[in-house]
Structure 1
Amino acid sequence: MQFSSLQTFVFLLLALFCGALTQTSCLNFNYPTFEDKVDDEDFIISKNSSIASGAIQVTHDFSWSSISNESGRFSYKQRFKLWGDGRRKKASFNSTFVINISNKTNPGAEGLAFILAANSTLPENSNGQWLGIVNANSNGSDRAKVVAVEFDTSKSYEQDLDDNHVGVDVNSIYSRSQESLTRYGIKLSNGTSYAVTVQYDSQNLTIFVSHTNENGEQMKDQVLSLAINLSEYLPDKVYVGFSASTGNNTQLNCIKSWSFTSSHIDENPNLLWVWIVIPAAVVMVVLAVVASCIYWRRRGQKELLEDAYPRIEDEIQRTVLAPKKFELKVLQRATGSFNPKNKLGKGGFGTVYKGLLGNKEIAVKRVSKDSRQGKQEFIAEVTTIGSLRHKNLVKLIGWCYESHELLIVYELMPNGSLDRFLFGDDKLGKEMEVPPLSWERRHGIISGVAQELDYLHNGCEKRVLHRDIKASNIMLDSDFTARLGDFGLARTLQQSEITHHSTKEIAGTLGYMAPETFLTARATVETDVYAFGVLVLEVVCGRRPAGNQLEQSNYNNSIVYWLWDLYSQGRVLDAVDSRLDGDIDEDDILSVLTLGLACCHPNPHQRPSMRTVLKVLTREADPPLLPTERPAFVWPSMPPSFKEDTECDVAGGQLTPFTVLGGR
């Protein structure tokens, strides 16, 4: 799109006006969630902190590293104007956030704090009892310049009331005022999410905590209020954020949402003209820009329809078995204009609707316009499935790209997805009554997925890495035959001898991702095998990969860790789904569970290939031998001196820096 010199001038003028306006404005922001669209550049993030699993991880936890004796600090990048005009004018603020503290050891760690600080830098040696607020050198010193509202989960000092209290700290870890939360029925470290509001009216700092009482009623209690003049301890501009720490005992310290609003300080009455003239000027400029944008948008949409559509069609038509292209009106008619009553499920890629095409039932995936890489995933799925043929693959019927709608048409699977039968809920999150799967059907489903993966890894002209094997992507036809679907993250390797696909962004679903994925940012046949192993374990056990999404990023809390512990104790059969009747072959189940654990071996070199997996499932071979104790994850992993399935080894190479999680 070309811009005239007049338009360029208009945009520069608007930027200057907005800059002047921003300099006199207060600080306001709102993050209802910390999902994919949150920009890391809005924050100053110390080591040991991150945004992951839909939350601020003030002290994050990953399976390959210990989180003991660590501290972290997470601050908003723009500073807050706290006072002005020689401390005579003070701002007020209101900050609401949802905290979730979950013990990793018993007892847990120290807790976390909401902070206002002159410096965003994390103090050195501020782990343990220092909560990331101060250290031994700055504790009690005016140079610390920090005020904190602590949510303490450890009685670290004699002055602490208990291991479950709120306190206000000024340049020190010792609280000016504190209040136990036990009498309110609140336990900070039990993994429950609590909404906290911190208010300052330029005279008093007040803390509220929202929770559910024993009668199931929602309560918002004022738990502490302290008269304090923040301008005596803090500079005129401060950073707002959070800090936390662990000692020998550990816990997860998470912030799941965060909003902040503040009042404006008018330091100079002579700047009143700014608030009168600039808004009027901005309105005039915006009107001019809007008129210009409407023109260019209409022209751009026309160019997009004329330009982008053929390119997508060209990429799809290059596949050997190019699927049928449908008109949008045909699929709208088939689904009742995407009637919500026809919705079958919803995922990170899009929403699936039931439809009727002639006398044939179909499933239509409507790619979400909010999907970060919708077009790329659409092309990947259509071109990948469109070029493959296998009995354990969801059958692709066709596609449509029209009026910015990206649609994929599949044969309808009458029994829906596998997770519906394992966990009793559909893809819309509704609980459902479904009959339990027999062991014979479970074994058949596992074998079917294994056959499809062996085909993708070894039976195609070009090796395919699925990258998102999970129960919700396994569809069941009328005979309960497993059909692997959702190839939006799949990648085709141009040469069959290549073993990996490197990415800028880690992709997959937490709980199914091999530990090395977070370090290498590589998809390999071995990472597919790991996800298959997790699937095997959940099919046999009827248990999700982890209890909740925050836990799924932690290898230690996963179904894999649980099964390894039982295996070490010789009690692995205790994990079998209780819904299976007594008429089962324990030797057969033991073999499959052992196979699943072998696929989830922390060392990718020790995982079997899918060809070996099939031999075990068909009883042509014994399951791989496993060590008695759960092996530790070590990287770089050491290859064995000899391995039979050499065609599936991971290629070596330097580590790729850790990037954003791409969970789905």
Structure 2
Amino acid sequence: MYATTSAWLDRETRSEVTTMSANKLALILVVGLLINLVARTAGDDGHQFVYSGFAGSSFLLDGAASVTGSGLLELTNGTLRLKGHAIYRTPLRLRGRSFSSSFVFGILSAYPDVSANGIALFVAPTTNLSGAMAAQYIGLLNSSNNGNATNHVFAVELDTMQNNEFRDLSDNHVGIDVNSLVSVNSTDAGYYPDDGNGEFRNLTLISHEAMQVWVDYEGGTGRINVTLAPLNLKTGSRPARPLLSVVHDLSAVIPDTAYIGFSSSTGLVSSRHYILGWSFAVGGPAPAIDVARLPKLPRDFQKPRSKAMEVILPIATAALVLLTGTALVLLRRRQLRYSELREDWEVEFGPHRFSYKDLFRATEGFKNKNLLGVGGFGKVYRGALPASKCQIAVKRVSHSSKQGMKEFVAEIVSIGRMQHPNLVQLLGYCRRKGELLLVYEYMSNGSLDKYLHPQPQDGDKQNGATLNWAHRLGIIKGIASGLIYLHEEWEKVVVHRDIKASNVLLDAGMNGRLGDFGLAMLYDHTADPETSHVVGTIGYLAPEIGRTSKATILTDVFAFGIFVLEVICGKKPIMQDSKDDQLMLADWVVGHWSRGSLVEAVDTRLQGEYDDDEACVVLKVGLLCSHPFPEARPAMRQVLQYLNGDMPVPELVPAHLSLQMLAFMQNEGFDSYIMSYPSSVESVNSFTSLVQQR
């Protein structure tokens, strides 16, 4: 009995203990989950930071960005065509949430009223902005992705350059950007003071003075407010009225996890962009920046020396130290060595003009060891700018007349604004005595003709056999894309006039870039107006130029066709046959076609490592572009569609137009062209019998 009762009590006790343990365990789990949820929610909504100076900070920095010894966050350092990014390392959950940021910035330019691109505070899904352009895109986007909804980028830009492509209202404005540099809303830089009057006051972003910006986003309403004001060293307070206010729901723009940071770029003007302090918060106002602890902006931005200073200072120094007559003569010779032509109208082009002294030093006095090549327009030298160490190519072009020089320089500056991956960037110019110096970005792999037609002195590196099929086809498509930009997409129609292999340069990735666009216009400006001057290179000239002496986009298409044949065949436009007679490359390719052996025209150095059908398509496109009749040639956009396989190449059929074509060339005034190359008379029978089926 006792044993039975004892066993029953043990069972009851164990059951009660078990029940109590389960209840406690459940309670502990619920409390733990609630604590974790509250902690996570508080961590997300309450994430914030504040930097009153950046000494010891650990941002993700790339490009020209760095932290100076005084604690300034320097986005750009004055070097041309560079971008810089500074990104907060921790990814943030911002989608659908309110957030706020404030920062103090300063922009220093080498010129009092001209600057490069500005600064942008951005939110992006990634820290990799390597594909962004270091020009008008402020280091955020590029020409191919600007405006794409897949960017998921929100930014507030402080822009100091007016760009018509983005419909900028001025060169001193603030804009709100969503996936594009075309702002959803923008206004001139300024603020509304809390002085009772509240009238708008302008601010100059490149005034070399520190300014403060506040950016607030309300997650519920989608309201975006941007406020700008001069830095208040006493209170750091903000105006009550924002500069910009717009409603735009960012929940469809900002991804679940995003990064916040700053971006800037210099373009073609030497400028420096600084951030002095920064604060940020999710779910509430950004913490106040301690303005008393902010580092100071530098005041020693070195500006270009004026012509007057170059003359006055040496003379004053010579008078002060009482140099002898010999020293004065040597000083005068030095001045003449670097003398330039400067006229009043060139003031507006100041940022695009290089000093002759800098170019002289960059090329080590234009020594032959820096000579890259010699062409019809002059010699080209490699160099490195003394201050920035930027690699450049300098072309020296002779000119003997002032006629049209102002218009030509204006065109140079205009062309310098072109941005396309398959055009060599024209950075600026310099005028000195009887020559014009044009400054381009340097292409490390030289000109294409050295790979297609290597000479013994070129060495083993530039060997035509190393230029494989993929490289050749990529170069052809790239130049076609560049010509579409010149003919159709830029703000003006630009006719190149001299498309050929020696004017196609290769960058480090073996991508083709078309150079020397616009140079043919120099001949128009300096030639006698009473005479006719055909601009271009024999072998690439369209037949109609013999009569009109005028270049059009269709004469560019003709030259491009000859260029295509040259790249694929590895032969020059004018060849020599087995009898040492001159033969046109197009005639030679047509001969292969008529014999049913078109693929045998492909460069033998490729050793058959290419697709036969693809090679035939490209050769037919080359022949179609170089058709003697202008109206039979396609536009460059069609050419690219043919090359990409988006459209079939039009059928070419015999038309028995040989005698008509020969009469056409004679009537067009191109008898000298025919007489110079007698083979053209014979081969016109074969070439002109291949006419586009229209």
Q: Report the TM-score when normalising by structure 1.
A: 0.44
Q: Report the TM-score when normalising by structure 2.
A: 0.42
Higher strand share: 1
Give the number of the structure whose alpha-carbon radius of gyration is greater. Answer: 2
**Bigger relative CO (Cα 8 Å, ≥ 6 apart):** 1
